Amino acid sequence: MRKLESKLQKACVKWFDENISPTQAFLFAVPNGGSRHKLEAYNLKLEGLKAGVADLILILSGGTTVFIELKHGKGTQSKHQKQFEQIAKNLGFNYYVVKNTHDFKMVISFFVSKTF
């Protein structure tokens, strides 16, 4: 299933990069997943890596931040992802679970149009 989510993330980032100017919004990934050597994983944890952080972060003018978790098809959030979603929402941030490129485009378009 991870390969399908990776494919979805690549498609979303490609669309964003081709359609949204950095003067409008900035999107970046948080590389939380993947296989790592135990020592590397340990060091990343000491550097602040947290389980469950959303896949993509969108920042816009005025301080708006949007966390985007990508799930392909019937994929569901892990326990840590649900905990991060709750923390983000409790702190007043926007958080979306996106399952396809259409919904990704809708979320991005909504926030980009609000800033202009």
Kindly list the domain boundaries of the chain, sorted by start residue. 2-114
Q: What pLDDT sits at residue 87?
A: 98
Q: Classify domain 2-114 by CATH architecture.
A: 3-Layer(aba) Sandwich (3.40)
- Token pair 């708006």 in the structure block, residue: 64
At residue 95, φ and ψ (nearest 5 deg) are -140, 130
Residues 28-84 have pLDDT tens digits of 998 776 667 788 888 888 988 888 999 999 999 999 999 999 999 899 999 999 999
| Assigned token pair, 87 | 């923390």
Q: What pLDDT sits at residue 34?
A: 63
Taking a C-beta distance cutoff of 8 angstroms, is the pair 71, 97 a contact? yes
37, containing H or E segment: none
| Cα 62 from chain centre | 19
pTM: 0.90
